[in-house]
Amino acid sequence: MRQDVVDLHRFYAGSLGQAARRLIRRRLRVMWSDVRGMRVLGFGYATPYLRPFMGEAERVLAFMPGRQGCVHWPAGEPNHVALTEETMLPLPDSSVDRILLVHLVEHSDAMRRLMRECWRVLTPNGRIVVVAPNRSSLWSWSENTPFGFGHPYSVSQLQNLMRENMFLPVQHSRALFLPPTQRRFLLRWSQVFENVGSRLFKAFAGVSIVEAGKQLYASTGTPERKRKLVHIPVTVPPLHSAEGNHQHRQELPPENASRATDTVKQDDAQS
């Protein structure tokens, strides 16, 4: 089941959603510390995490899939959001430098086509970051948050997913060690949970985050073996000379020789 844009907007407007946005933003900012002059694309429902790049990047775009729906963003400013299909991005080849996928990979029914489309629009030196629910976390079991829907991934599973689709993982991170609760006294300690969990309880993070680069040359499998020339000796019988054939005719049996002589005489008489 996939949550629509109304549910996602409602979650991030609440206290738990604001805490999640703040904690994940910090991890993303460490990965993308400098995006000056770059074109940044958020796909899925990535708008809560794109605001820090607005004043720095050359351009920031937000695409939302048709089955999810879209809303105007940012509020009070010109719209940066477009509604599109997951497998048909309205962008030319190699047109964006950074791609952020949030609330998308865990819901996709056409994963290979989605990742290939991201590969197509990403520049050769670009980076893509995937944020997905962690399989072993409390967040993936709670239906009170959007991270409790869809197919969860561990960090290693996300890395394998990227390799299978012509991306090369370069680094990974984890976030949301805070329990998915609305209790305010626990939300106040969200950063403490994050600091302790990132050191001692990495497997229980709420989301897995993987950054990868574009792989331009993929392996085609087993390398082709070089062909080697092998010398195979062949015995060829010697050819008989013309003299040998003449001698062979001369050595015919007497009966055959006499017949040949009679034939020659008859030919002479007729002529």
201-242 pLDDT tens trace: 888 999 999 999 998 875 544 455 555 565 566 565 665 555
Closest to 68 (Cα-Cα) out of 100, 103, 111: 103
> Token digits for 120?
């197509």
Please tell me the total number of residues recorded for the chain in this structure.
271
Predicted confidence (pLDDT) at residue 16 exceeds the cutoff of 60? yes
Q: pLDDT band for position 97 (50/70/90)?
A: very high
Specify if 264 maps to a domain: no
Residue 226 lies in a domain: no
4 or 130, higher pLDDT: 130
Q: What are the tokens at 202?
A: 């990495």
Instruction: Determine, yes or no, domain membership for 19.
Output: yes
Quick check: is 180 in a domain?
A: yes
Q: What is the CATH number of the domain that holds 59?
A: 3.40.50.150
- 220 found inside a domain: no
Strands 207-214 vs 167-175: parallel, antiparallel or unpaired: antiparallel
Q: Which residues face 44 on adjacent strands?
A: 102
How far apart are alpha carbons 180 and 245 in whole angstroms? 105
Domain-located, residue 79: yes
Based on the structure, what is the number of domains in the chain? 1
Does 58 or 270 have the greater pLDDT score? Answer: 58
pTM as predicted: 0.78
Radius of gyration of the chain (CA): 38
> Residue 66: which domain range?
5-214
* Residue 264 pLDDT: 43
**What residues does 167 pair with on adjacent strands?**
214
User: Could you tell me if residue 51 is inside a domain?
Assistant: yes
Other C-beta atoms lying within 10 Å of the C-beta of residue 5? 18
User: Cα(107)–Cα(134) distance, rounded to whole angstroms?
Assistant: 14
Whose tokens are 């865990």? That residue is: 106
Q: Is residue 66 part of a domain?
A: yes
Q: Mean pLDDT over residues 63-87, rounded?
A: 93
